[in-house]
Amino acid sequence: MALNKAKRKPVSVNPKILLLYGAPKVGKTTVLSKLNDCLVIDTESGSHMLEGYFHNVNSKEELLEFYREASDGHEYEVFALDTIDKLVEWTAKDVCKEMGVDDIADLPYGKGFGMVRERVMNNLRKLQSLCSKTIIVGHRKTATAVDNSTAVEPESLDLSGKLKNQLMAQSDAIGYMFRGEEDELMVSFQAGVALEAGSRCNHLKGKIFPFDWKKIYKKESK
């Protein structure tokens, strides 16, 4: 069959994979609870005082059970993993137990970090296959060097090694959440020099604004 020249229109303008991160208690879980059709997968038991759609997960085994249940069907448009930090922690413990070491750094040539990275990304791919949109929530490093910056930088995401770079590269948009001068919750999609910290969504590139889901997920014409 001959190939015909046909220009495809964009399938979507909104992020299919959205990475949000910020300081603990900045308001990440609270805003997730206000997003329509979003199920928050709470790995840190931080949702007990909020109203919304939540599914508590306290171990890797419970997360795998959630995947099995969701594969049977669900009514949500968005799954939000809150937070990825626990998934990394559980995965690292599994690798250590499997390899018979106390710390993944004890494995030579960075093998442990590579195993954790591969398994975490496989978990995220599984999560993404179960819904239309995925939100990954992470924490900001507390180092002084990044405290005053509102730009999205790989160094400011509190994950180790190549995992944070790979996660950022896979995300369609990355938002850094912080509090403004009047304690207003803000989100920045303004990337620094790192290409993987940028946004594929034109309406979010380089923007900083008070947090508003309607500005992040624009209404799309059918």
Q: pLDDT above 90 covers what percent of the chain?
A: 62
Q: CB of 92 within 8 A of CB of 37?
A: no
End-to-end CA distance of the chain: 30
Strand pairing report for 185-188 and 208-210: antiparallel
Sketch out the chain's domains with CATH numbers: 17-176+198-216 (3.40.50)
- As a whole number of angstroms, the distance between CA 121 and CA 118 comes to 5
Q: What is the pLDDT of residues 150-209, one digit of tens each?
A: 778 878 888 887 898 899 989 999 999 999 888 999 999 998 766 667 788 999 999 999
Q: What is the pTM of this model?
A: 0.90
User: C-alpha angle 59/60/61, rounded to 5°?
Assistant: 90
Q: CB of 22 within 8 A of CB of 157?
A: no
Phi and psi at residue 110, to the nearest 5°: 70, 20
Helix (H) or strand (E) holding 127: helix 111-128
